[in-house]
C-alpha cells in the first residue's frame, strides 16, 4: 500500500518505520527535521497524503489534529482511509471523522497503548472507533504496528476507551503509591506488602505489572530512577482529556478529577515533569498528612 504518515515523533517514527519494513511505500511529514529508515520525506502534509491508500496521523492534541485534517483531507483520494492514532479529545475525533466521511473517506480514530517500546517493537494495542468498513481497511496496518486492535464502536469510541482506561490507570497508580507510603510509616516491609496485595483483592496492573516501589515486583521504571516509560505529563494530559469528556457528557468522576489535580501539582509544582508517572511514590514518601 501507499501510506502517508504525518507526525514522526517518538511514537510515529517507529510506527512508520515498521510499515516501511513490512514492504509498504511510506511517505512521511513532520514539522521537525527527522529521518526515518525506509520512509520518504515530503515537504508538507498534503504532499504526503496525495494519492495514498491510507493516511495515518500521530499528533500531540486535538487542536493540531483539526488543523492537519483540514489541510490533508482535501488532498486525499476518495475511498482512502484516514487513520488518526493520536490521543485527543472525543469531540475533536468526532469532528475530524465527520469531515473525512463527508469527503468520501474511511475514517478511524485509533489511539494506542504500549508506549515508545510498543511502537518500536510493533506490539501496540489499538482502540479503534469508526465504521466496520473503515476498521477493516485499517486492520492490516494495525497488525503490522501492533499486536492487538479492538473495534470499540463508532467515531470517537477509540478515544473514549483510551481515556476511560487511563483515568483508571492514573487513579490506581495514586492509590498504589499512597498504600506503599502508608506501609512504610506503619513499618510494613514493602516486599511483604507486595506479596500480600499482589495475590489479594488489592491486585492491580499498577501493583503487579508496574510496581512503583524499586526492587519490588517485576522490572519497572522505579528500578531505573523513575526514567519514564509513561511520563507524568502524559498521564496529566490523559486525565485532562478524561475530565474534558466528563464535563461534556455530564459524568460525575470525582476520583478522576482529584487524580488530575494531583498530577497537575506533581508536574507543574513538584518537579514531576520528565519523571515516570509512578514517581508519585517518592512524592508521597516525603509528605506528611498535613503536606
Distance CA(272)–CA(230), nearest Å, equals 12
Distance CA(68)–CA(101), nearest Å, equals 16
Active site residue 286: no
Which residue matches cell numbers 518505520?
Answer: 17
Task: Provide φ and ψ at 82, rounded to 5°.
Answer: -105, 115
Candidate list 2, 21, 148, 162, residue with the active-site label: 162
Distance CA(15)–CA(282), nearest Å, equals 33
What residues act catalytically? Answer: 162
Amino acid at each position: 500500500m501507499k501510506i502517508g504518515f504525518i507526525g514522526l515523533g517518538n511514537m510515529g517514527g517507529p510506527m512508520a518505520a515498521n510499515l516501511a519494513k513490512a514492504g509498504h511505500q511510506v511517505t512521511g511529514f513532520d514539522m521537525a527535521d527527522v529521518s526515518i529508515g525506509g520512509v520518504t520525506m515530503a515537504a508538507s502534509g498534503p504532499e504526503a497524503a496525495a494519492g495514498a491508500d491510507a493516511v495515518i496521523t500521530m499528533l500531540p492534541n486535538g487542536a493540531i489534529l483539526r488543523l492537519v485534517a483540514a489541510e490533508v483531507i482535501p488532498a486525499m483520494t476518495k475511498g482512502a482511509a484516514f487513520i488518526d492514532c493520536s490521543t485527543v479529545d472525543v469531540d475533536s475525533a468526532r469532528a475530524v471523522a465527520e469531515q473525512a466521511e463527508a469527503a468520501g473517506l474511511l475514517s478511524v480514530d485509533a489511539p494506542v497503548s504500549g508506549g515508545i517500546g510498543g511502537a518500536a517493537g510493533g506490539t501496540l494495542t489499538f482502540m479503534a472507533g469508526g465504521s466496520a468498513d473503515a476498521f477493516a481497511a485499517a486492520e492490516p496496518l494495525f497488525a503490522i504496528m501492533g499486536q492487538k486492535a479492538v473495534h470499540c464502536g463508532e467515531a470517537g469510541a477509540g478515544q473514549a476507551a483510551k481515556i476511560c482506561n487511563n483515568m483508571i490507570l492514573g487513579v490506581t497508580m495514586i492509590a498504589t503509591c499512597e498504600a506503599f507510603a502508608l506501609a512504610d510509616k506503619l513499618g510494613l516491609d514493602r516486599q511483604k506488602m507486595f506479596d500480600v496485595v499482589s495475590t489479594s483483592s488489592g491486585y492491580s496492573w499498577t501493583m503487579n505489572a508496574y510496581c512503583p516501589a524499586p526492587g519490588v515486583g517485576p522490572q519497572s521504571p522505579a528500578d531505573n530512577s523513575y526514567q519514564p516509560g509513561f511520563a507524568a505529563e502524559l498521564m496529566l494530559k490523559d486525565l485532562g482529556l478524561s475530565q474534558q469528556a466528563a464535563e461534556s457528557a455530564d459524568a460525575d468522576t470525582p476520583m478522576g478529577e482529584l487524580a488530575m489535580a494531583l498530577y497537575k501539582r506533581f508536574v507543574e509544582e513538584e518537579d514531576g515533569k520528565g519523571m515516570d508517572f509512578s514517581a508519585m511514590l517518592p512524592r508521597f514518601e516525603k509528605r506528611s498528612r498535613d503536606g
